Amino acid sequence: MADIISRPTAPADDADAIRLKKIKDGLTRRHARERRFRAYGVAAIVAAIGFVVILFSMILYKGLPAFTQAELSLNVYFDPEVLSADEPPVQGEGQSAAEYQRAVLGWQRQVTMLNWNRLIEAAIIEAAPDAQVDTRSALSIVETSERFVLRDMFVENPGLLGQTIPVSLLASANADNWLKGNIDRSLPDSQQQLSADARALADRLLEEGKIRFAFAGHIFTNVDSRSAPASAGLAGAFVGSLYMMLVVIVLAVPIGVMSAVYLEEFAPKNRLTDLIEVNINNLAAVPSIVFGLLGAAVFINYFRLPLSALAAGWRPGSDADDASDDHHRYAFGPACRAAVVATGSTRPRCVEDANRVPPRSAGHLSWHPDGHHHRCRAGAG
């Protein structure tokens, strides 16, 4: 708009004209500056929203493929020649429960020792009859723990002997990554995890539809595994997070809410309550790792637990869950320690937030999302 009235025509007075020009130039400059400033603001917002979008899209892009995994659909023939086990034991007359149990366990041990991999190999060759692959390559595309799936099927139903059953088995982690394109296909053989034959076989099976990508439900039901990475899951970590959330809720909700109620409704203004408020504000800003150190020091010095046996810290709580194996318990230890930490840090924050809203009922409301949010954080951390 400044441009429209610039260049005044026929100035009556030189001094006036100069002054007017000065003002108009100044206006132009000022308006340009105004526009620039606004543009900075818009740019900042665009940047901030852009970060949100990039963050979410990258996480979805990287994370979603993890929920599907390559699965082989094979026709497994329960070959009586390979599965040369005894008949499953039957509880005889006068046989005690313990004796029968021992016989069953002995039979299961025998069944476990059978060569299940030969069934898998035969099924793969049946799926791709003309492929020239050796045993090693053929088996390398199936997850190593999948042979136990066949064993469990057989233990459950020994009548499968001699039958051909369609089974879907998880592909190995290497094959899965190869098929998903996570591995550079131009790398030479010496740098590939799978042999050339196995790679060709995996590609071919995928093409023929005998390998497909299916939703990997087992990540929610299996615990982690080193020997069979494709069948590993989150169950242990998930339960640990749940336990931690539970502990945090049980400890932080009552203490946080009651403390807020006191400070808002009852507390007189004196040195003590001032001190409490300053403390709460400070605690809310103390880094979580310092709470972690507090937890470590308390566990080690007060409860006399060595650091590596923090797992034991969970013992009293996990009695109800005694069925869980050592692996679970180990996962709970750190979780418990972190719970102490999270409690420490969530509590003051709840209190602080509740304090901001004077009425008691609103205190509850304002607290809740915050607490939830922190628990989520704690869970992930």
Partner 1 sequence: MNTALVAALLLVLLGFAYQMGWSRSRSLVTGGSKLHSRPSYHGSLAAIWALLPALLILGLWALLGTTATRAYIIAQLPPEIASLTGADLAGAIARIRQIETGFGVLGETAPWENAAAQALREFRLLTYAVVLAAAAGTGALGLFMARRRITARLRARNEVEGVVRVLLIGCSVVAILTTVGIVASLLSEAIRFFTFVSPVDFFFGTVWNPRFSSVGSGSGDYGLLPLLWGTLMVATIAMIVALPIGLMTAIYLSQYAPPKVRSTVKPIVEVLAGIPTIVYGFFALVTVGPFLAAIGNTLGIDIRATSALTAGVVMGIMIIPFISSLSDDVIRQVPRAMRDGSLGLGATQSETIKRVILPAALPGIVGAFLLAVSRAIGETMIVVLAAGNSPYLRLNPGEPVSTVTVTIVNQLTGDTDFASPQSLVAFALGLTLFAMTLVLNVVALYIVRRYREQYE
Phi then psi dihedrals of residue 213, to 5 deg: -90, 120
Residue range at the interface with partner 1 (CB under 8 A); choices 85-93, 164-172, 187-195, 266-274 = 266-274
246 binding partner 1? (CB under 8 A): no
26 binding partner 1? (CB under 8 A): no
Distances (CA, A) of 165 to 71, 122, 130, 153: 16, 13, 21, 10
Residue 73 burial (C-beta neighbours within 10 Å; 0-12, 13-18, 19+): middle
Question: Which is closer to partner 1, CB of 163 or CB of 282?
Answer: 282
58 binding partner 1? (CB under 8 A): yes
Strand (E) positions, the chain? Answer: 68-77, 164-170, 211-215
Question: Of 34, 86, 126, 274, which one interacts with partner 1 (CB under 8 A)?
Answer: 34
Question: Which is closer to partner 1, CB of 67 or CB of 113?
Answer: 67
The footprint of partner 1 on residues 293-312 (CB under 8 A) is 293-294, 296-298, 300-301, 306-308
Question: Of 105, 161, 258, 365, which one interacts with partner 1 (CB under 8 A)?
Answer: 258
242 binding partner 1? (CB under 8 A): no
First to last CA, the chain: 55
Whats the size of the chain, residue-wise?
Answer: 381
Distances (CA, A) of 202 to 119, 185, 197, 212, 229: 18, 13, 9, 11, 18
Q: How far is CA 148 from the centre of its chain?
A: 26
Residue 314 burial (C-beta neighbours within 10 Å; 0-12, 13-18, 19+): buried
Query: Which residues make beta-bridge pairs with 75?
Result: 166
The footprint of partner 1 on residues 130-169 (CB under 8 A) is none
Residue range at the interface with partner 1 (CB under 8 A); choices 54-62, 73-81, 103-111, 150-158 = 54-62
The contact pattern for partner 1, residues 311-350, with x = CB under 8 A and - = no contact, is ---------------------------------x--xx--
Positive or negative, the Cα torsion across 192, 197, 202, 203?
positive
1 binding partner 1? (CB under 8 A): no
DSSP characters over 350-375: HHHHHHHS-SHHHHHHHHHHHHHHHH
Residue range at the interface with partner 1 (CB under 8 A); choices 139-147, 228-236, 274-282, 360-368 = 274-282
Residues that bind partner 1 (CB under 8 A): 30-31, 33-34, 36-38, 40-45, 47-49, 51-52, 54-55, 58-59, 62, 254-256, 258-259, 261-263, 266-267, 273, 275-276, 278-283, 285-294, 296-298, 300-301, 306-308, 344, 347-348, 351, 373, 376-377, 379-381
